[in-house]
A and B are shown apart, each in its own frame.
Chain A
């Protein structure tokens, strides 16, 4: 009884003193759930990627790196990887390019009801993702809006097939789909800029353009960096859009993963592909973060 009392007292005192311990305790349900739905499947994936498929849902459980060797030597996967990265990078670039002026407009030129403007701008994104992808199919398709419009205007004699089922169709669709996610972080970082900084720059002789490049842009870079990461990571792994509007030329790495877990029926290879793409994205993101950090530090 006495010992029990002493230990609980000791624990309580320790708890009162240590803020971080308290924090972890408060977080413990979250940590448990995260472990359950993230860590355990992740470890499962690692183990699976080291096995070999020998029949439907049957595996040779001797550990081997063969799957990774296939991933990194097979020409097809190399092409898919680089295409995914290029498509994703292009999407990210275009999205930010598109979102920046919109965010800038709301932050600096809208006086009242800014929230309403933001909601209106993100309104299209409240509809289903699939619906929006199909909408682009309707716009870019053989009998689509663009083709029939151009035919009616007499600019072309027969529908253009260049519009749909290629990587650029994927980029267009993804860019539109993710724009809302770029507007918000950029808007927040622009909104945060102290207006007197801009006035100070003008006072010190900057024209509006010079001021934008010397003050506004550097100070909004954190938002831009957040937006790029927010878009780059999920778009690399997207498989819905490429399978709907990408055609065989727009096939991306996630489609290959989906194939291996589905009709290809090679789960260990699929696991190795996803782990590899995860690693690649992580490395790219970290490098990007480091580079952008030094860049924002050294802007003059």
Chain B
């Protein structure tokens, strides 16, 4: 069942179209990420869900109730702000209990709920601290507890991990995901970090310039990007232009630079013979070796980049200036630039873009 329905929603700020005809359905209990570069309208879309902005066009339905005209304090959503927005004049307890004042709970019940919420985010013992006495990670937990204590149907998170260092961020990613599975409410999570979106989400949407580029599971987005924007925004990728030589119902035969003639699974819209198509393949789907195998192609190493757990080799064919990137894990050898190498691939890893 669709928990949140966003139906062709648009929002403009003067000349800027921040959100452009967006339609997404989000399921109940799903961890859904909105991923996109800075300024693409992620925050605006989240604020539309929270009710801080009203759509110019389209409608939003949460839990079967039409949300247009419903103010933020009457929506079944709560938000964790990008800046955390911890009330500076209140201590942690008062911050977390803030939304319960009108809940009709007794003082003891409120204390009980606060204790539970702080335990949930592992912040017991910090009850009396003020916001300026907390670290970034702790502030983030207070913001989380403050929103979760309201028992919202949907939790909206605007780049909640953006201000944390890499190590803490990775810890919090796991914690947040565990927490979400534990309480089972719908999370809509905004991030501009593609790895974060890929590791945490059940499903995700890639945005660009206010438009939804692709919606799908992380695996679909990563392995079957539909457009150039998605392909290049998510991870490192090799993009090659080729010409369709022949077609059957199942496959296209495409002439690509470096790779030569390849057979690619035909999934997208029909392509005519002679048409130019864009193909992509991930660096990690290519393998590289010092000696030829039966299906490999000889290349020249231009340069390499070491990333610890993997190394990127940038290579080109002898007869072409087009470069492609190959990644390899745990490489023990460090070939010199200019040396001859052989690359091979599985043609099922080649994807034709829709555009």
Contacts and interface: CB of A to CB of B under 8 A. Distances in A.
A199 B89 contact: no
A196 B98 CA distance: 15
A205 B146 CA distance: 12
B90 A300 contact: yes
B94 interface: yes
A199 B147 CA distance: 13
Contacts of B88: 197, 219
A204 B150 contact: yes
Given A300-B90, A300-B94, A202 B73 contact: yes
B39 interface: no
Interface in A200-228: 200-207, 214-215, 218-219
Nearest to A207: B73
B40 to A, nearest CB: 20
Interface residues of B, number: 24
A150 to B, nearest CB: 46
Nearest to B77: A203
A194 interface: yes
Contacts, number: 58
B347 interface: no
Given A205-B99, A205-B102, A200 B90 contact: no
Given A205-B102, A215-B87, A199 B94 contact: no
A215 B89 CA distance: 8
Contacts of A199: 52, 72, 79, 81, 85
A204 B146 contact: yes
Nearest to B75: A203
Contacts of A61: none
Interface centre among B82, B89, B146 (most CB of A within 10 A): B89
18 contacts: A194-B85, A196-B82, A196-B85, A199-B52, A199-B72, A199-B79, A200-B85, A200-B87, A202-B52, A202-B72, A203-B50, A203-B72, A203-B79, A204-B78, A205-B150, A207-B73, A215-B87, A219-B88
Interface of B: 50, 52, 71-73, 77-79, 81-83, 85, 87-90, 94, 98-99, 101-102, 146-147, 150
Closest 9 CB pairs of A and B: A204-B99, A200-B85, A196-B85, A205-B73, A202-B72, A196-B81, A203-B79, A205-B99, A218-B89
